[in-house]
Each structure stands twice: as structure tokens, then as C-alpha cells.
């Protein structure tokens, strides 16, 4: 896809205007102080504007944006602040197991009340609880013998959950958490795991540590504790034992938004470096006329365009109902590497100013680094790409 349709262009303009008006002015403040009251203001504005949940169908209060239009929106938001973008997007991640289950009764029961709250002064958020200590890549890949330590047992018409999850985006803000837990913590993860919807006012649920992050600080990453948390049987999402496969389906969808966040960072780094280079005078001329700077800027521009091509291809596949974990992994890996490199080069172009917090460029590097880590590290993504390539060869 080489150009946007008029409808897609309209969505891009809407997202760009919102980002400039609501996100950019708050980005540095939330980087310095993630718990600042401006975070609540931003959540309210994002909810009322439809930024949160823009991909939900209209009967749930969303805009029915397909994944391609979602990528357009995400790039604009991430170019303003990737941490704020995750603050908005983590709710859809939390709701994704319910939405992907296709269970209309559960969608009405769990998703609709949250969507309705976005029109009020107290918008409610969701979070996905999968990661736990010592269980990252094993969980994603489903290695034999690997199983989450968060466990679930059947009891009296429902389930009891015990365990601990870490690094959960929006975990300290959510009113609903979708959590993956194992029926047999000694069994293989591919067979022993289920997913559950847990309202955070359920007895036994609590928020532990809220971690101090290097970047994307506007969105909190929290430790979630489950101490004999009872949920009724109808809070299970999908089939019993189907949690790992459900998570695989989620990854095939959610890696593309991460790639898009990285694209937004890479673009922001290039734009800021170019703007600075066209104004900064050194040796009697703007530094954009210096060959060394031109070579860096040319590479930065190329990375942005190449990353966007991969992101758009992956997003278009999602929009066509053909999610590809290979395409999304390629997009995520390439775009996140481009974001880190562009952010580092932008600091170099700005020199000492780039190293200073007030210019917001060093923030881009801190933010970019996380895109190489979450939704599967880039090493894991590369492994999965090649696993699929070799499988096509019958190996």
C-alpha cells in the first residue's frame, strides 16, 4: 500500500491533532513523574476522544477502526510519546483475550461496562497479566516442561488463583485483569494453562510493587498478587487448557502495534534530528549541509520508510483477517532496532543538547529500548521467524 485512502488520511489527521494537543504537552512531565495528576487528565481525554478502544465495534462504543487504521493512529501517538501510547493501548491488550474468544456474552459482561465508562469522569482500564518472574520466553514459546507458577484450582463452581505476575502494563490502574494461570505447574505450558477475567476488586487480589522503568514511564508496570482469588467458572475465557494457544493468537495481533510504536519513535527521532540540523549553525553553515550529518539523516529516513513498509504490510494482513506471527515478528524486530538506532543517532546530531532531558531526545532512546524487549525479545522474535521459515522447508 503506497498511499492512504481519504478515510485513512482523515483518521491520521485526527490522531495527529489529538497527539499534538493532548500528548506532546504532557510527555516530559509524565516521564519525570509518572504519577502526576496530568496522567488522569490524559486518560480521561483519551477515553472521551475515542483514542482508547478506537478499534472496538460501534455497538461497544468504539470507532470500528480496523488494524490498519489502528496502526495509523498508533504511529501518530507514539511519535508524540510512546509511554502515553502504551497507557492508552494496554486496555485493549487486557481485553484482547475476551474479544478474541468471540464469546458475545462475556464481551457484553466484561468489555461493555469498561467502554461505557469512557464517557464518564472515571474511565476504567484493563490489563493483561501473563509475565511472571523467571517465565518470559518459556511462556511465549511453550517449551516442554515450562509452566507458569501462577496456578489455578477448581473449587465450588469456580476457580481459585494463586501466584504473582510482574511488569504488567497498567496493572496498578486496571479495574479488570485477564490472567493466565496453570492447572498443573509441573506440566507443559502448552497443555496446562487457562485464561480468566478477574475484576481487581475481587478479594485476594492486590497490587504489589510498581516498578521504576528506564523508559515509557507514563504507563506504569506493576506487580500483581493473587492470594486465593476466587472467580466463578463463567470467568474463564476460552476452553480450559486453551490458554497457551489463546496467547499465541494474541501475539500474532499485538506484535504489530508494538512495531508501530517503534516506528513512531524512529520517526520522531528522525524528525527532531532533521529539524535541529536545519537550524543549528556550525562552521558558518547549518549542520544539515555537513556531509557527515547528511549521511546519518539519510540512513535515519531510510529506516523509517522501511519500518513503515513492514508495519503496514503486517497491519494490512491483520485487517484482511490473515494474522501472521512471522510478518508481525519481522515488523516488530526491524522497527524496534530502527527505533533504537535512530534515537541514538538523533542524540548524536543534537550533540550535548541531545543528552539533556529538556530536549526530549534522550527520552526517545530510553523509550525505544523497551520495544526490543516486550511482546517477546527480538531474539525470540528472530527465533520464531526462522522456526516458521524452516517449517516451510519441512525442517
Provide the strand spans (E) within 139-200. Answer: 151-155, 158-169, 176-182, 193-199
Identify whether 375 is a catalytic site residue.
yes
Provide the strand spans (E) within 59-140. Answer: 126-129
N residues, the chain: 395
Is the CB of residue 161 less than 8 Å from the CB of residue 196?
Answer: yes
- For 388, the grid coordinates are 516458521
Give the integer Cα–Cα distance in Å for 361 and 230. Answer: 46
From the list 155, 104, 95, 105, the residue with the least C-alpha distance to 125 is: 95
Q: Alpha-carbon Rg of the chain, whole angstroms?
A: 21
Give the integer Cα–Cα distance in Å for 208 and 338. Answer: 34
Q: CB neighbours of 15 closer than 8 A, spacing ≥ 6?
A: 51, 72, 73, 76, 77
Max Cα-Cα span within the chain: 79
Give the integer Cα–Cα distance in Å for 188 and 213. Answer: 31
Among 239, 375, 384, 392, the active-site one is 375
224 by Cβ neighbours in 10 Å (0-12 / 13-18 / 19+) ranks as buried
Q: Which is it for strands 236-237 and 281-282: parallel, antiparallel or unpaired?
A: unpaired
From the list 164, 174, 211, the residue with the least C-alpha distance to 89 is: 174
From the list 30, 99, 31, 96, the residue with the least C-alpha distance to 59 is: 99
Give the integer Cα–Cα distance in Å for 218 and 56. Answer: 23
Is the CB of residue 121 less than 8 Å from the CB of residue 48?
Answer: no
| Catalytic (active-site) positions | 375
Amino acid at each position: 500500500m503506497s498511499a492512504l485512502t481519504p478515510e485513512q488520511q482523515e483518521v491520521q489527521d485526527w490522531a495527529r491533532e489529538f497527539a499534538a494537543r493532548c500528548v506532546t504537552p504532557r510527555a516530559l512531565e509524565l516521564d519525570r513523574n509518572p504519577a502526576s495528576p496530568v496522567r488522569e487528565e490524559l486518560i480521561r481525554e483519551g477515553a472521551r476522544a475515542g483514542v482508547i478502544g478506537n478499534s472496538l465495534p460501534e455497538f461497544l462504543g468504539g470507532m470500528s477502526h480496523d488494524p490498519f487504521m489502528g496502526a495509523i493512529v498508533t504511529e501518530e501517538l507514539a511519535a508524540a510519546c510512546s509511554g502515553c501510547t502504551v497507557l492508552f493501548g494496554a486496555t485493549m491488550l487486557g481485553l484482547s483475550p475476551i474479544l478474541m474468544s468471540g464469546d458475545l456474552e462475556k464481551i457484553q459482561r466484561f468489555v461493555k461496562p469498561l467502554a461505557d465508562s469512557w464517557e464518564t469522569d472515571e474511565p476504567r482500564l484493563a490489563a493483561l497479566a501473563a509475565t511472571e518472574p523467571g517465565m518470559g520466553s518459556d511462556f511465549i514459546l511453550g517449551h516442554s516442561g515450562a509452566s507458569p507458577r501462577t496456578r489455578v484450582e477448581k473449587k465450588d463452581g469456580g476457580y481459585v488463583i494463586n501466584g504473582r505476575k510482574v511488569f504488567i502494563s497498567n496493572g496498578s490502574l486496571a479495574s479488570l485483569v485477564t490472567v493466565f494461570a496453570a492447572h498443573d505447574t509441573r506440566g507443559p505450558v502448552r497443555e496446562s494453562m487457562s485464561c480468566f477475567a478477574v475484576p481487581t476488586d475481587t478479594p485476594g487480589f492486590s497490587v504489589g510493587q510498581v516498578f521504576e522503568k528506564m523508559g515509557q514511564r507514563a504507563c506504569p508496570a506493576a506487580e500483581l498478587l493473587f492470594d486465593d482469588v476466587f472467580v466463578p467458572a463463567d470467568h474463564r475465557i476460552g476452553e480450559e487448557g486453551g490458554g497457551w494457544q489463546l496467547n499465541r493468537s494474541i501475539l500474532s495481533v499485538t506484535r504489530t502495534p508494538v512495531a508501530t510504536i517503534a516506528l513512531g519513535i524512529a520517526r520522531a527521532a528522525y524528525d527532531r534530528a532533521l529539524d535541529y540540523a536545519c537550524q543549528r549553525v556550525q562552521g558558518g553553515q547549518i549542520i544539515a549541509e555537513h556531509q557527515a550529518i547528511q549521511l546519518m539523516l539519510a540512513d535515519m529516513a531510510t529506516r523509517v520508510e522501511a519500518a513503515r513498509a513492514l508495519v503496514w504490510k503486517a497491519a494490512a494482513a491483520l485487517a484482511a483477517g490473515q494474522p501472521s506471527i512471522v510478518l508481525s515478528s519481522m515488523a516488530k524486530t526491524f522497527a524496534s532496532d530502527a527505533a533504537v538506532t535512530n534515537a541514538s543517532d538523533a542524540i548524536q546530531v543534537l550533540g550535548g543538547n541531545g543528552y539533556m532531558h529538556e530536549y526530549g531526545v534522550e527520552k526517545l532512546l530510553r523509550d525505544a529500548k523497551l520495544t526490543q524487549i516486550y511482546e517477546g525479545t527480538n531474539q525470540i522474535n528472530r527465533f520464531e521467524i526462522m522456526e516458521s521459515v524452516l517449517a516451510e522447508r519441512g525442517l
